[in-house]
Amino acid sequence: QVQLVQSGAEVKKPGASVKVSCKASGYSFIGHYMDWVRQAPGQGLEWMGRINPNSGGTNYAQKFQGRVTVTRDTSISTAYMEVTRLRSDDTAVYYCAMYSSTSKTLDYWGQGTLVTVSS
Amino acid sequence: SYELTQPPSVSVSPGQTASITCSGDKLGDRYACWYQQKPGQSPVLVIYQDTKRPSGIPERFSGSNSGNTATLTISGTQAMDEADYYCQAWDSSTGVFGGGTKLTVL
């Protein structure tokens, strides 16, 4: 069965960086884009960006361009999302999600990683 | 940038029909999908390509999309349906979510 297992919660200071991992299993990792979505406390879902694990190609929401980088390691079926220059409003749960090109949906989601930015 | 607008909250009595709307410019020209999220859990897809239900989603969930509005309809709403619901569409290759609607079953 498809599983996306994310790394554990992080606490960071403003200005620091954080890198969240998402290990995929149960499907062809290079066969599906991996998207990243975040959710601030008590707020809605916000799409951040994606990676094509096969080519390494990425695209990002305009809001995150220049501050967010998504990468992958195909040898271990893992995607990574790094946010630099963290601010307090980056405090959120970050999700990875497998994109299905057939249905154009995010079919499987990781369990989420809470990133807290606090001085 | 493209935007999707949802009502913040909808209330429904058990057994009645709940309708949650999602508005966006010419949304009917794109596919809309809907995610359900319960407290402390990851989102779950309940409707895709406007009207289709993934396997395992009850038949009481249905969807439509025309003009500027997509609608998620839950017939015979049950207490277990109480959750936040998000519509989502694609603007080129960029994902766009609505602000979410809290469905209360009371």
B56 at interface of A, judged by CB pairs closer than 8 A: no
Which of B45, B84, B95 shows the shortest C-beta gap to A47?
B95
Residue type, A23: K
pLDDT score, position A3 = 98
**Looking at residue A109, what is its pLDDT?**
98
| Amino acid A115: pLDDT | 98
CA B16 to chain A, closest CA, distance in angstroms equals 26
Q: In chain B, which residues have their Cβ closer than 8 Å to the Cβ of A64?
A: none
Total Cβ atoms within 10 A of residue A7: 16
Q: Who's near A69: CB < 8 A, 6+ residues apart?
A: A58, A81, A82, A84
* Interface mutation vs chain B, best among A106, A111, A113, most B CBs within 10 Å: A106
Any chain B CB within 8 A of the CB of A50?
A: yes
What does the pLDDT read at residue A49?
A: 97
Tell me whether A1 touches chain B (CB under 8 Å): no
A63 Cβ neighbours under 8 A, 6+ residues apart: none
**Cβ-defined contact of A37 to B42 (cutoff 8 Å):** no
Are A62 and B1 in contact (CB < 8 Å)? yes
Chain A CA closest to residue B47: A105
Query: pLDDT tens digits, residue range B6-36?
Result: 999 999 999 999 999 999 999 999 999 999 9
Per-residue pLDDT of chain A (119 residues; tens, 9 = 90+): 999 999 999 999 999 999 999 999 999 999 999 999 999 999 999 999 999 999 999 999 999 999 999 999 999 999 999 999 999 999 999 999 999 999 999 999 999 999 999 99
The answer to whether residue A51 neighbours chain B at the CB level (below 8 Å) is no
**CA atoms of A90 and A98, how far apart (whole Å):** 22
pLDDT of residue B97: 98
Residues A105, B87 contacting (CB under 8 angstroms): no
Task: Give the Å distances, CA to CA, from A60 to A10, A36, A55, B68, B77.
Answer: 22, 9, 16, 26, 37
Instruction: Return the pLDDT at A106.
Output: 97
Structure tokens that stand for B94 in this block: 């960029």
